[in-house]
Amino acid sequence: MKRKKPQVVLKNVVITDYAAEGKSLARIDGKVIFVEKVVPGDVVDIKLNKNKKDFAEGFPVHFVEYSKDREEPFCNHFGLCGGCIWQMLPYQKQLQYKHQQVTDSLQRIAKVNLPEIDTIIGATETRYYRNKLEYTFSTKKYVTNEELAVLKKDGNVYEDIAAAGFHARGFFDKVVEIETCHLQEEPTNAIRNAVAAYAKENNISFYDIRNHVGFLRNMMVRLTTTGEIMVNIVVGENYKTTIEQLMQFVLQQFPQITTLLYTINTKFNDSIFDLEPIVVKGNGYITEKLENYQFIISPKSFFQTNTKQAEKLYSITRNFAELDGTQTVYDLYGGTGSIGIFVSNKAKKIIGVELIKEAVDDAKENAKINNLSNAEFFVGDVINICTDDFFEKHGKPDVIITDPPRAGMHEKLVRKLLDMAAPIIVYVSCNPATQARDLALLDEKYTVTKVQPVDMFPHTHHIENVVQLKLK
């Protein structure tokens, strides 16, 4: 029988620095210890859950002394919910560590010549900044040890409890019941709480993610600066009468909703990209504005979730593109065309390329409502689309804007960019580590000339970064 290794607890450990991905670090005899739920300056006892030769990972079991940089979190759900894990840090400290994350990633991973990295651009509003939230309805409420002790008192048997909110950090099947979330303005909390209460009062089941049964599954709420509200309720069972009654309840309680939809999802995963939302009220989309540009947003559209910071991010991208009206701009991973359209008034032509057909359909519609005649959008992989024949018809790029997902660009795409050899590339990234990896490959032909971090998500460790590269 294999003997379990004894659990190691390190005493009185001083947390010295921020590491990345929401973790901090300490060093003991030259060994790096990555620690969750702490900040630099904390002195803690740490239980290790991973202990390798060169590094270890752990979590605090006792705080000997709190850092002077800590402040009181403003949310009752802090520490349980998977979001806003940096509420205990003053916002200026958050910005300092995010700037450090960008610097460390580019220097350590990219290992290319870098200009001075501009000071990170912070958010004016650090609460109620999200235009989109997705809630989960679950049969398994996350219960703390203290709550569990109360439930089990006097021999009571603990049973699963329905909950509406966000996944508990580190659990795919447990949901923290949210009373008030500070990420999105009202009526988001009122809608979520009302739908959950209605379901409980009418014996409507919540979704069991392990057994894949249950009616009420997810809900997305989108708000715009133009005052429009979209709600898409996702159900796991096609019970027509129950759906109709729930929709009527929502309409009666919240007449300010401009677009109400529902989606029937009987799959084993939560993705709705291959499903068709059904419109109950409205035209099936809402409209947002960035500067003077309008954008339609459908239930399946990707759109930057912090509208005010998106304006700053796109303005930097436009400035880095150095457009004077004569350039052809290729917007890769173009989504619904938001970046391409935003920079279009400074360009001769915009060519958008995106894999998802529905996003390209939205991009074309967005170009139409903004009366653009110099923007075209294409469905497919850049590697397959950008051929010599395509260049002959549409022109080679003078500027390439690329905004890939967190995984960064595929190496084949990086090779394609090197072959295309546009004079300027503007690389917008939500993951400085994968961006740095790609910059190392682009170094074959390009020099990094400008770097500008932007904070899109206060109280989280996530950071956007814009890099300008010029052909050597």
To which residue do tokens 């947390």 refer?
15
- Pairing outcome for strands 229-235 and 259-264: parallel
pLDDT the model gives residue 136: 96
Domain membership of residue 87 (yes or no) is no
Based on the fold, state whether residues 335 and 220 are members of the same structural domain: no
Q: How confident is the model at residue 147 (pLDDT cuts 50, 70, 90)?
A: low
How far is residue 22 CA from its own chain's centroid?
14
pLDDT the model gives residue 5: 65
Tokens found for residue 343? 């920079």
The set of residues, in sequence order, having a beta carbon less than 8 Å from that of 109 and lying 6+ positions away, is: 433, 436, 437, 440
Based on the fold, state whether residues 454 and 366 are members of the same structural domain: yes
Question: For residue 450, how many other CB atoms are within 10 A of its CB?
Answer: 19
108-120 pLDDT tens trace? 999 999 999 999 9
Whether the Cβ atoms of residue 190 and residue 122 lie closer than 8 Å to each other: no
Which of 262, 290, 318 corresponds to the end of one domain? 290
The amino acid occupying position 442 is L
* Lowest mean per-residue pLDDT among 51-55, 123-127, 444-448, 457-461: 51-55
The set of residues, in sequence order, having a beta carbon less than 8 Å from that of 402 and lying 6+ positions away, is: 332, 333, 409, 417, 425, 426, 427, 428
Based on the fold, state whether residues 284 and 351 are members of the same structural domain: no
- In this structure, what DSSP letter does residue 168 have? B
Highest mean pLDDT among 90-94, 356-360, 391-395: 90-94
Which of 290, 316, 350 corresponds to the end of one domain? 290
Q: Cα(101)–Cα(95) distance, rounded to whole angstroms?
A: 10
Which of 235, 264, 290 corresponds to the end of one domain? 290
pLDDT at 64 over 60: yes
Give residue 251's domain range.
132-290
Based on the fold, state whether residues 50 and 116 are members of the same structural domain: no
Residues for the chain: how many in total?
472
pLDDT the model gives residue 98: 94
Based on the fold, state whether residues 270 and 338 are members of the same structural domain: no
pLDDT at 416 over 60: yes
The amino acid occupying position 388 is D
Angle between helices 91-105 and 432-442 (to 10 degrees): 30
Domain membership of residue 81 (yes or no) is no
Based on the fold, state whether residues 183 and 331 are members of the same structural domain: no
Based on the fold, state whether residues 169 and 35 are members of the same structural domain: no
Whether a cis peptide bond, with omega within 30° of 0, leads into 187 is: yes
Domain membership of residue 214 (yes or no) is yes
Tokens found for residue 280? 């109950």
The set of residues, in sequence order, having a beta carbon less than 8 Å from that of 6 and lying 6+ positions away, is: none
Tokens found for residue 54? 């060169």
pLDDT the model gives residue 150: 59
Q: How confident is the model at residue 1 (pLDDT cuts 50, 70, 90)?
A: low
Record the pTM: 0.90
Side by side, the strands of the sheet bearing 55-65 are 9-14, 43-51, 55-65, 31-35, 23-28, 17-20
pLDDT the model gives residue 15: 92
148 vs 300, residue with greater confidence: 300
Domain membership of residue 158 (yes or no) is yes
Domain CATH for 21? 2.40.50.140
Mean pLDDT of 307-333: 96
Exposed e or buried b for every residue in 309-343, given b needs 16+ CB within 10 A? bbbbbbbbbbbbbbbeeebbbbbbbbbbbbbbbbb
Domain membership of residue 268 (yes or no) is yes
187-229 pLDDT tens trace? 999 999 999 999 999 999 999 998 999 999 999 999 999 999 9
Q: What percent of the chain has pLDDT over 70?
A: 96
Q: What is the mean pLDDT of the chain?
A: 91
pLDDT at 152 over 80: no
Whether the Cβ atoms of residue 47 and residue 9 lie closer than 8 Å to each other: yes
For residue 105, give the nearest of 358, 418, 465, 455 by alpha carbon.
465
What SS3 state is found at 242?
helix
Number of domains in the chain: 3
297-317 pLDDT tens trace? 999 888 899 999 999 999 999
* Lowest mean per-residue pLDDT among 12-26, 127-141, 320-334, 355-369: 12-26
Domain membership of residue 286 (yes or no) is yes
132 vs 147, residue with greater confidence: 132
Based on the fold, state whether residues 389 and 283 are members of the same structural domain: no
Phi, psi (rounded to 5 degrees) for 432: -60, -25
Instruction: Give the DSSP per-residue string, 405-418.
Output: -TT---HHHHHHHH
Domain membership of residue 248 (yes or no) is yes
Catalytic residues: 430
